[in-house]
Structure 1
Amino acid sequence: MSESSSEPYRPNRGRWLWAFVLVLAVAGGYWLYARNSGSQGSKGKPVAGRGMAGMAGMAGMAVPVKVAAVETGPIDYTLKAIGTVTAFNTVTVRSRVDGELQKIAFSDGQKVQEGDLLALIDPRNYQVQLDQALGQQRQNEAQLQNAQRDLQRYQLLFKQNSIAKQQVDAQAALVQQYLGSRKSDQAAVDSAKLQLSFTRITAPISGRLGLRKVDQGNMVNASNTDGLVVITQTQPISVMFTLPQAQLPDVLEQIRAGRTLAVDLYDRDDVRKIATGELMSLDNQIDIATGTVKFKARFGNEDESLFPNQFVNVRLRVGTSQALVLPTMGVQQGSIGAFVYLVGDDSKVHVQPIVVGRVDEKRVAVTSGLAAGQRVVVEGVDRLREGAQVQVMAGAPGEPAAAQDPAAPAGPLPNTGVPSSNAPGAR
């Protein structure tokens, strides 16, 4: 047996050493990779943690709000409608005789008074007719006077038994005939004078003229329906509007009691009040097609701010009553109906269902659910929930909050976590 086969097996130590070094290198690389990955992931974890913590902080901080106290006061019962301004009187000026339009004595859009001359029609033809009537009247008057003198003579002769009774009666009848002719002649003269006066066209009412429809020199006639010009009376002026029949009893109650109801007019945007007047009358029947009733109101229109056919927003003030009132922006609507955020003594809000009544501009009447003196949130409600902590800000509802004292340091408000009003990004 050889010597090599008798020697024991010995592993190669160098090969094991290299394998060990390789394992260490792989482990070190894995450790470095895991460390880098962990550091990169840890960069996002604090952010998420801070976000959750921030939301939790927001849940516990006091929300700045403005409040208003529930109080007892007057509230107007007002009915709203859309109305149309109409001229108090409208007249289409027409010629009552035929002839040439000789003169136009007005300008387009001019204001005129009743009786002012507007136009003149050629009067010569009507002057001739008047002269003829006067001539016929004088002729018949002379015949009447002659017949009356003959009647006096016949009566004297009859007393002397010189003529027959029949002749006296015939003369008396002739006198009566001429007396009738005198009346007819006077009527003819008056008619000719009237026709002659129609050649002067005057304003039948006071008002403002429109645009003329016929120019000077044209032939006009009484059958022309277009007329010469239209006059509209704008001082005073009226407004027509309609209300649903369900609101009619409330208005009738006030009218039958002899009360004068005020009517306010607002512009197209329903923001600026342009006139105040009073209710004049209402229609005598309900329109069955719409279920509404027509009303008419009167306005002085001294400044001529109202123009015929203008559309306006109408507010009819029916009455005033005492009730619990609060600003309308404090009333919210939800699945439970109308509710408010009621501020308690502990500065926490609670959802309080209420029943609302009449609404007057920026105030609403509360029928039940609240008592006088209680405070409700009117601004900042979008960030509230049941039991939320609030901080009441100074200033009236709808006005900016009171500015912070310049001497006070800028930063969060004490014990609230809410940024100061002077700090950037403050709400």
Structure 2
Amino acid sequence: MSSPTPEPAATAPLAEPPAPRPPSRRRRWLGSLAALLLVLALGGGAWYLIKRSGEPVAGRGGFGAPGSTVGHAVARRAELPVTIDALGTVTPLATITLKPQVGGVLTEVLYTEGQTVTKGQLLARIDPRPYEQALMQAQGTRVRDEAQLEAARVTLARYRTLLTQDSIARQDVDTQAALVKQLEGTVVTDRAAEAAARLNVEYTRITAPVAGKIGLRTVDPGNTVTANASTGIAVITQMNPIDVQFAVPQDRLPDIQAQLAKGVALPVKALDRTRSTTLDTGGFSTLDNVVDTSTGTIKGKARFANAQTTLFPSQFVNVQMTLRTLSAIVVPVTAVRTGPTGSYVYVINEDRTVTMRPVKRGESTVELAAITEGLEPGEKVVTEGGDRLKDGAQVLLQGDKPAAGPRQGASGPRGPRGEGRRRQAPPQ
């Protein structure tokens, strides 16, 4: 008999993982304490930063810092000129190109390039001999025709005498009278030809039509020139007086017309590029008759004596035209600021604090602005450093003694932190 098959051993059940142990009370307490300390640290750091940013720091120019040194000026009553500033171009009254009226050989040039010439001054000569010969020929023709005319008049007088004696036909008298008229016309033509020939002789002498400054020479002596050549031999520009043309805003047109209607002379200054030097002083001359629609301006012109020749043709200058003057309280332009509610200034009080005061601004120049409301003469206003200020801030004026440093105790601007830094460690 076969042995019985042994039964398989029963499989042991898998062991379950041990359940997590609940955290102890001490660990939970330590975690809560760490979170609380972290929150306190973050809050304390934020408070410290906020506190530090709100404290005045000497010498750093913070808001209201006693160490913020500002520029200042005193409001005063003055005569403020109402001006119009514009960019102008110097334009001469006359620019003339010297062109020969007759052709020929240029024999002489009697000027120096860049020379100031006077009206009527001889500048160059063209060979006059061909024109002198033409003049003599015209004179000879005139003399011959005048002699024929005189003979015809004598004959006419004789015919009229014979006609009264009934010794000649009237037809002969009329024919002789017509001949006299014909010869008179011929003589008139001869005289015109002689005058034209004499004029050509004068054209061989090139003179200055106006006084001014002559430019560079374009033709040298010995060259043949032609009548009315496009280039000419030189250019004369009138320098004294001289005009400046500039553009005026159309909004200023009523003010200018009102002053001109009163007969008031409007002074005009021509300034250099930096507006630091006055080149010349003149007067307003006239306005154009149309407004430029592309720019909204109208052209104006001022005239200057230019005695020192400081203005040069086609030169760009800054123009300042004074319309009128008004009495007003003025401050530097840099003292007036613009905020959401309009213009304002920082007024400096006696205790060296500033007050932001709204003002109403009037006319202004490049340097000064008129204050029509909100300011009294004698008050001090901030002109520089106002961007670092707010209402009620402490300031230092130029020349004031600086405030005490942070090492002067708790009363200093950084006293509490200074004391903390100087506090000694407790004895061991």
Q: TM > 0.5 between the two?
A: yes
Q: Does 1:417 align with 2:400?
A: no
* Equivalent-residue separation in structure 2 for 1:60 and 1:303 (angstroms): 54
* AA in 1 matched with 2:216: L
Given that residues 61 and 418 in structure 1 are in contact (C-alpha distance below 8 angstroms), is that contact kept between their aligned partners in structure 2?
no
Describe the shift of the 1:189–1:418 C-alpha distance in structure 2 as closer, same or farther (beyond 3 A). farther
Q: How many residues align?
A: 353
1:215 alignment counterpart: 220
1:192, CA displacement in angstroms? 0.8
* Equivalent-residue separation in structure 2 for 1:95 and 1:148 (angstroms): 43
Q: Does 1:245 align with 2:250?
A: yes
Query: Match for 1:325 among 319, 323, 330?
Result: 330
What secondary structure, in the 3-state scheme, does the structure 1 residue paired with 2:391 have? coil
1:338, CA displacement in angstroms? 2.4
* AA in 2 matched with 1:324: I
Q: Does 1:182 align with 2:169?
A: no
What secondary structure, in the 3-state scheme, does the structure 1 residue paired with 2:243 have? strand
What secondary structure, in the 3-state scheme, does the structure 1 residue paired with 2:376 have? coil
* AA in 2 matched with 1:211: L
* AA in 2 matched with 1:272: T
Query: Match for 2:207 among 198, 202, 205?
Result: 202
Root-mean-square deviation over aligned CA pairs:
2.5
* AA in 1 matched with 2:207: T
1:147 alignment counterpart: 152
1:355 alignment counterpart: 360
Describe the shift of the 1:298–1:56 C-alpha distance in structure 2 as closer, same or farther (beyond 3 A). closer
* Equivalent-residue separation in structure 2 for 1:72 and 1:89 (angstroms): 45
Query: Match for 2:280 among 270, 275, 281?
Result: 275
Structure 2 spans left out of the alignment, 5+ residues = 1-47, 59-63, 407-428
Given that residues 57 and 67 in structure 2 are in contact (C-alpha distance below 8 angstroms), is that contact kept between their aligned partners in structure 1?
no
The Cα offsets for residues 339-386 of structure 1, whole Å up to 9 and x where unpaired, read as 211123443211112221211232101132223333222345355332
Stretch deviating more after TM superposition (335-344 or 63-72): 63-72
What secondary structure, in the 3-state scheme, does the structure 1 residue paired with 2:258 have? helix
Report sequence identity in percent: 42
What secondary structure, in the 3-state scheme, does the structure 1 residue paired with 2:131 have? helix
Q: Does 1:106 align with 2:93?
A: no
2:127 alignment counterpart: 122
Query: Match for 1:85 among 85, 90, 113?
Result: 90
Given that residues 62 and 388 in structure 1 are in contact (C-alpha distance below 8 angstroms), is that contact kept between their aligned partners in structure 2?
no
* AA in 1 matched with 2:156: L
Q: Does 1:256 align with 2:254?
A: no
The within-5 A match list for 1:307-326 is 307-326=312-331
2:173 alignment counterpart: 168
Given that residues 97 and 221 in structure 1 are in contact (C-alpha distance below 8 angstroms), is that contact kept between their aligned partners in structure 2?
yes
* AA in 1 matched with 2:304: F
* Equivalent-residue separation in structure 1 for 2:268 and 2:52 (angstroms): 58
What secondary structure, in the 3-state scheme, does the structure 1 residue paired with 2:290 have? coil
* Equivalent-residue separation in structure 2 for 1:369 and 1:301 (angstroms): 44
1:27 alignment counterpart: none
1:41 alignment counterpart: none
1:308, CA displacement in angstroms? 0.8
* Equivalent-residue separation in structure 1 for 2:176 and 2:212 (angstroms): 59
Q: Does 1:75 align with 2:80?
A: yes
* Equivalent-residue separation in structure 1 for 2:69 and 2:126 (angstroms): 80
* AA in 1 matched with 2:142: Q
1:287 alignment counterpart: 292
Structure 1 spans left out of the alignment, 5+ residues = 1-47, 394-400, 403-411, 420-427
What secondary structure, in the 3-state scheme, does the structure 1 residue paired with 2:239 have? strand
* AA in 1 matched with 2:303: R
Given that residues 91 and 245 in structure 2 are in contact (C-alpha distance below 8 angstroms), is that contact kept between their aligned partners in structure 1?
yes
1:99, CA displacement in angstroms? 1.3
2:34 alignment counterpart: none
* Equivalent-residue separation in structure 2 for 1:129 and 1:60 (angstroms): 97
1:418, CA displacement in angstroms? 7.3
1:37 alignment counterpart: none
Question: What's the TM-score once normalised by structure 2's chain length?
Answer: 0.76
1:282, CA displacement in angstroms? 1.2
* Equivalent-residue separation in structure 2 for 1:243 and 1:102 (angstroms): 50
What secondary structure, in the 3-state scheme, does the structure 1 residue paired with 2:130 have? helix
What secondary structure, in the 3-state scheme, does the structure 1 residue paired with 2:158 have? helix
1:55, CA displacement in angstroms? 5.4
Describe the shift of the 1:356–1:102 C-alpha distance in structure 2 as closer, same or farther (beyond 3 A). same
* Equivalent-residue separation in structure 2 for 1:331 and 1:386 (angstroms): 15
Query: Match for 1:386 among 388, 391, 398?
Result: 391
1:71, CA displacement in angstroms? 2.6
* Equivalent-residue separation in structure 2 for 1:316 and 1:60 (angstroms): 44
1:103, CA displacement in angstroms? 1.4
Describe the shift of the 1:151–1:80 C-alpha distance in structure 2 as closer, same or farther (beyond 3 A). same
Given that residues 62 and 417 in structure 1 are in contact (C-alpha distance below 8 angstroms), is that contact kept between their aligned partners in structure 2?
no
Given that residues 329 and 370 in structure 2 are in contact (C-alpha distance below 8 angstroms), is that contact kept between their aligned partners in structure 1?
yes
Given that residues 62 and 418 in structure 1 are in contact (C-alpha distance below 8 angstroms), is that contact kept between their aligned partners in structure 2?
no
The Cα offsets for residues 236-269 of structure 1, whole Å up to 9 and x where unpaired, read as 1111111222222221221222111111111112
1:54, CA displacement in angstroms? 12
1:204, CA displacement in angstroms? 0.4
The Cα offsets for residues 5-29 of structure 1, whole Å up to 9 and x where unpaired, read as xxxxxxxxxxxxxxxxxxxxxxxxx
